[in-house]
């Protein structure tokens, strides 16, 4: 066949170029069909939430909504802070801080899970890192698991008083959302 | 079988006109009327027809329900109650659809166990079998999407847990799993956006299922049906025409099946569901005990068997990934059965050791189902781990090894020998209507 073609290279080029354009065209047509399923701008808009912490007494906890997710805020007691600070890094299944307020991967010591000067306030996304259930432990009479933090009833993950996973199938510590104190008793999440 | 030609003879001018242009009647006659079926099929071979009925029933009731259902997070829950209380005969149609899903799975599980017992997955039926596994996967996806729609607590948290399975991929590549999950949700949590797209897909998948079912039947009619002896058909006298022989047996089984169906649909419409699903979805409260529908329980038990450690082996942060891989693997491994089984004998009737392994496997599936319904702690986890090992051992140990060490019982020379005793060569009395011209 090729012997009849005056310029085989020219024909090959046309075939490759034609197919390449068709592939790019197909891909750019598929992309909108895939992308339409992702969160849109209205969902992405970082709706930040301001919360007044004044009514939350020591040992109490509240749950607020942020981006459609529950956020746990616990005013930790002295004992709870001490228990969390005492834990060696080697005892943790997940040794990363999982704190969105920190840049890069920091070790999961208690200091990296809270804001400096506000060590009693623990702010966490209240979604179990296993399969997304809401762990128990916010209410005073909830089961708080073996480590005094939270306990996920779905598949039995235990979290400690710094929201770090200690036991069970959850692979990660509870996420710390980005937040800041805008006054002594008010925080802004997001 | 593939060479089987239809004996269709159009009688009317209208029939002849069509036969020359689009011979659908000829094809249907050849495939479903005079198609040769083994003469020794037992009642375990009636589930194909029953499953066909289930698929059609789910599509018909589903299309009607979609005329009254509203896929929005604010209206979905109430629209289900509207269907049950206000829509004329809505209570009945919804029961048929909800109970129908369970009945569909009862039939498909028995159909699969039949295939495993009689070796229906072995050559030359591998493609037929793999299409069946694909059908099971699409059925499971459809059932899962459909269970979201009532938007009760179990719907919501079931979706949350199952979609979160994909986040296990974060262990392999950070952000991959989370990206997929948010793509599925269309947000940062399960919401009305998720419900809307799940409704769309729940409507789509049954038609995909229909397409795969057509391929499944096509593959079946190329290889021909297996039979309780597992022997190949050697002569036409070992077959009877599908109609009226196989079809009449199908109808008897269908009536028994429909009796059970009607009993659930009319007397126990909610028995197979969960009371928690009559509480509207609440993203702030997880029900204390999340369980999927009964037909997912064995797979759910396998998922949960992988806690921080598995039978004493620490898994660390890989526990979740292993659980997810094992759960999907427990279905997908079925597709490899044709190559995992090393025995040339098909039917467990002639394989004493495989038959024991089969019943142990059946017990394992039931035990996993029970464990899946129990809370994931204490002794239940240990048993779930043991039975998970046994589940996979059936495919990865029993299937390859038994074929090498087992001595099969003596096989009959042919289907006719098995049915009539070794002396019989003639036609059985019951099959005189079989045209001997074929």
pLDDT reported for residue B34: 92
Answer whether B286 touches A (CB < 8 Å): yes
Contact across the interface for B183 and A38, Cβ inside 8 Å: yes
Residue A117 has pLDDT above 60, yes or no: yes
What residues of A are in contact with residue B283 (Cβ under 8 Å)? 68-70
What residues of B are in contact with residue A150 (Cβ under 8 Å)? none
- Under 8 Å between Cβ of A127 and A118: no
Residues in chain A whose Cβ is within 8 Å of chain B: 34, 37-40, 43, 63, 65, 67-70, 93-94, 127, 130-134, 153-156, 167-172
pLDDT tens per residue across span B370-392: 999 998 777 999 999 999 999 99
Q: Which CATH architecture has domain B36-232+242-270+278-288?
A: Up-down Bundle (1.20)
pLDDT tens per residue across span B386-410: 999 999 999 999 999 999 999 999 9
User: In Å, how far is B306's CA from the nearest CA of chain A?
Assistant: 7
Contact across the interface for A68 and B161, Cβ inside 8 Å: no
Residue B436 has pLDDT above 80, yes or no: no
Task: Spell out the domain ranges in chain B.
Answer: 36-232+242-270+278-288, 291-420
pTM attached to this predicted model: 0.86
Residue B56 makes CB contacts below 8 A (sequence gap 6+) with none
What residues of A are in contact with residue B160 (Cβ under 8 Å)? 131-133
pLDDT tens per residue across span B236-293: 999 999 999 999 999 999 999 999 999 999 999 999 999 999 999 998 888 888 889 9
Q: Point out which residues pair with A124 in neighbouring strands.
A: A72
Contact across the interface for A154 and B197, Cβ inside 8 Å: no
pLDDT reported for residue B434: 46
User: In Å, how far is B197's CA from the nearest CA of chain A?
Assistant: 8
Contact across the interface for A171 and B290, Cβ inside 8 Å: no
pLDDT reported for residue B54: 97
- Identify the helix (H) or strand (E) that includes residue A8: helix A8-35
What residues of A are in contact with residue B189 (Cβ under 8 Å)? 67-69, 127
ipTM: 0.72
With b for 16 or more beta-carbon neighbours within 10 A and e for fewer, the B118-156 pattern comes to bbbbbeebbebbbbbbbbbbbbbebbbbbbbbbbbbbbb
Residue A155 bears catalytic tag: yes
- Under 8 Å between Cβ of B190 and B160: yes
User: In Å, how far is A94's CA from the nearest CA of chain B?
Assistant: 7
């Amino acid at each position: 066949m090729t012997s009849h073609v005056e310029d085989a290279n020219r024909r090959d080029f046309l075939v490759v170029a034609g197919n390449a354009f068709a592939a790019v065209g197909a891909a750019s047509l598929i992309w909108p069909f895939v992308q339409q399923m992702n969160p849109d701008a209205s969902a992405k808009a970082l709706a930040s939430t301001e919360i007044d912490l004044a009514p939350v007494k020591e040992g109490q906890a509240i749950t607020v909504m942020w981006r459609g997710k529950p956020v746990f805020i616990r005013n930790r007691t002295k004992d709870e802070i001490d228990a969390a600070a005492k834990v060696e890094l080697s005892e943790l299944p997940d040794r990363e801080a999982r704190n969105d307020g920190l840049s890069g991967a920091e070790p999961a010591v208690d200091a990296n899970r809270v804001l400096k000067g506000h060590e009693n306030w623990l702010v966490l996304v209240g979604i179990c890192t296993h399969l997304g259930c809401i762990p128990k432990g916010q209410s005073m009479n909830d089961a708080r698991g073996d480590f005094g933090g939270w306990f996920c009833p779905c598949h039995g993950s235990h979290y400690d008083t710094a929201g770090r996973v200690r036991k069970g199938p959850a692979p990660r510590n509870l996420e710390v959302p980005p937040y800041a104190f805008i006054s002594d008793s008010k925080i802004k999440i997001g | 079988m593939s060479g089987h030609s239809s004996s269709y003879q159009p009688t009317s001018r209208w029939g002849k006109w069509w036969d020359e242009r689009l011979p659908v009647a000829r094809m249907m006659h050849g495939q479903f009327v005079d198609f040769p079926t083994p003469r020794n099929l037992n009642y375990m071979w009636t589930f194909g027809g029953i499953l066909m009925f289930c698929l059609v029933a789910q599509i018909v009731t589903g299309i009607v329900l979609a005329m009254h259902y509203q896929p929005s997070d604010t209206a979905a829950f109430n629209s289900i109650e509207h269907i049950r209380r206000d829509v004329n005969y809505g209570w009945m149609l919804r029961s048929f659809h909800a109970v129908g899903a369970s009945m569909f799975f009862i039939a498909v599980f028995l159909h699969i166990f039949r295939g495993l017992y009689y070796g229906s997955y072995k050559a030359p039926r591998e493609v037929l079998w793999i299409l069946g596994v694909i059908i099971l996967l699409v059925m499971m996806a459809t059932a899962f999407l459909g269970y979201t729609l009532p938007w009760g607590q179990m719907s919501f948290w079931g979706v949350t847990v199952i979609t979160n399975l994909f986040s296990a991929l974060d262990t392999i590549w950070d952000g991959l799993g989370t990206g997929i999950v948010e793509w599925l949700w269309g947000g940062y949590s399960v919401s009305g956006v998720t419900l809307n797209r799940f409704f769309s897909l729940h409507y789509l998948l049954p038609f995909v299922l229909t397409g795969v079912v057509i391929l499944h039947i096509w593959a079946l009619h190329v290889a021909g049906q297996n039979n309780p002896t597992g022997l190949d058909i050697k002569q036409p006298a070992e077959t009877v025409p599908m109609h009226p022989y196989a079809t009449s047996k199908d109808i008897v089984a269908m009536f028994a099946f429909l009796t059970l169906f009607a009993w659930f649909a009319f007397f126990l419409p909610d028995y197979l569901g969960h009371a928690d699903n009559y509480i509207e979805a609440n993203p702030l409260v997880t029900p204390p005990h999340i369980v999927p529908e009964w037909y997912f329980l064995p797979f759910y038990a396998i998922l949960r068997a992988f806690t921080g450690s598995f039978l004493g082996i620490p898994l660390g942060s890989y526990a979740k990934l292993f659980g997810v891989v094992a759960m999907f693997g427990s279905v997908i491994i079925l597709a490899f059965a044709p190559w995992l089984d090393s025995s040339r004998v098909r039917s467990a009737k002639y394989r004493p050791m495989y038959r024991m392994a089969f019943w142990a496997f059946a017990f394992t599936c039931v035990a996993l189902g029970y464990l899946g319904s129990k809370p994931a702690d204490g002794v239940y986890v240990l048993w779930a781990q043991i039975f998970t090992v046994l589940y996979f051992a059936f495919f990865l140990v029993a299937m390859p090894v038994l074929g090498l060490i087992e001595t099969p019982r003596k096989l009959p020379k042919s289907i006719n020998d098995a049915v009539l005793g070794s002396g019989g060569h003639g036609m059985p009395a019951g099959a005189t209507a079989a045209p001997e011209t074929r």
